[in-house]
Amino acid sequence: MSKIELVSMEERRWIAENATISVGSKEGRGVTYKIIDLEKVIEKIRKERSRHSLSPYVEIQPISADAHKAPSRTATFQKDPITGVLYGIVIGQDDFGNPRWQKIQWSDHMSLNLDNENEAKIWAVIRFHPSIQGSPWEEDTPYYKIYDPVDDARMEIRRAEEMQKAFKRIDILLEKPRDMVLFTRYIGEVSGEELKDNANYDIVRGVLLRFANSYPIEFNRRWDNKERSFAERFYTAKALGILSNDADRGYTYRNIPLGLSDEEVIKTLSSDNNLMMSINEQIEEKDKVTKAVINTYEEKRGGKAPDEGELE
């Protein structure tokens, strides 16, 4: 899963260059503080949320609520160690010109409406608090997470669509037993499910269905990979022991160097047709699983399995 990022480095630089105010000594002497210009930042946040069709509502929730305590956090400001900007809500200055900060206090749940000016200010600065997952200064074990109902619903819709697409693609694979095995070995790098020599059609089908159900987006990403056919054969050759792997030399085939990483080997195979043909011959000879899956398929269908072809 990709890391949540509430405030990107790009946005922090934009704030430093375009959205700050200066607060300091009333006599013009001493320290001057560079503070976030909330008006400009809120305008930017609202425009971005509108562009992405996000609602104005954001909820801050505990990642895992502790039933034995009701935690309370108080936030004032955070200082950016790179840009020097202070992120907080200024409510005045003391006798020396130093900024006075609004205290933001919250417990287990906080709901914010970004159409409300004061709540939008709170959101603009609280995103930087270390106890919230995704803050630029996130603690090792953050207590809070951000829950966006609309964004969460959109992710669920996308996941359902990706899952539907993956299941349709499995239907294609079920009629191509050779391709079933090749693709299953390709996704095995993520699923961790290794095909044993006693695997058959139903076992391979089960692996595909479980992966599509758990990782539909990754399933489709790998399906759509332009170098998929070479990646499938690399992982199959690797699983069958056709390729050797040495810490110093990397992957080799019959003493021919292929590359140090998986990506390098796949690139090598995609550019050397003779090498790929030789490895294919070895796969055809040694792949017991494919033979077993083809036999199971032919028993179920009462006919010969189709020749291997490109996936659609």
Q: Is residue 308 part of a domain?
A: no
Check residue 97 and give its pLDDT. 82
Check residue 4 and give its pLDDT. 64
Check residue 70 and give its pLDDT. 56
Cα torsion 178, 179, 181, 185: sign: positive
Q: Are residues 296 and 159 in the same domain?
A: yes
Domain final residue pick, 113, 147, 181: 147
Q: Are residues 139 and 159 in the same domain?
A: no
- Number of domains present in the structure of the chain: 2
Check residue 149 and give its pLDDT. 65
Domain final residue pick, 122, 147, 172: 147
Q: What is the DSSP string of 96-164?
A: TSPEEE--EEE-S-EEEETTSHHHHHHHHHHTT-TTBTT-TT--SS-SEEEE-HHHHHHHHHHHHHHHH
Cα–Cα distance measured from residue 231 to residue 182, given in angstroms and rounded to the nearest whole number: 9
Check residue 151 and give its pLDDT. 63
Residue 139 sits in which domain range? 9-147
Q: Is residue 309 part of a domain?
A: no
Please identify every stretch of the chain with a pLDDT value under 70, giving residue numbers as ranges: 1-4, 25-30, 65-72, 148-152, 303, 305-312
Q: Is residue 3 part of a domain?
A: no
Check residue 53 and give its pLDDT. 73
Q: b/e map of 293-306 (b: 16 or more CB within 10 Å)?
A: bbebbeeeeeeebe
Q: Is residue 4 part of a domain?
A: no
Q: Is residue 307 part of a domain?
A: no
Q: Is residue 306 part of a domain?
A: no
Domain final residue pick, 147, 174, 191: 147
Q: Are residues 177 and 271 in the same domain?
A: yes
Q: Are residues 49 and 181 in the same domain?
A: no
Q: What are phi and psi of 294, to 5 degrees?
A: -65, -45
Q: Are residues 120 and 237 in the same domain?
A: no
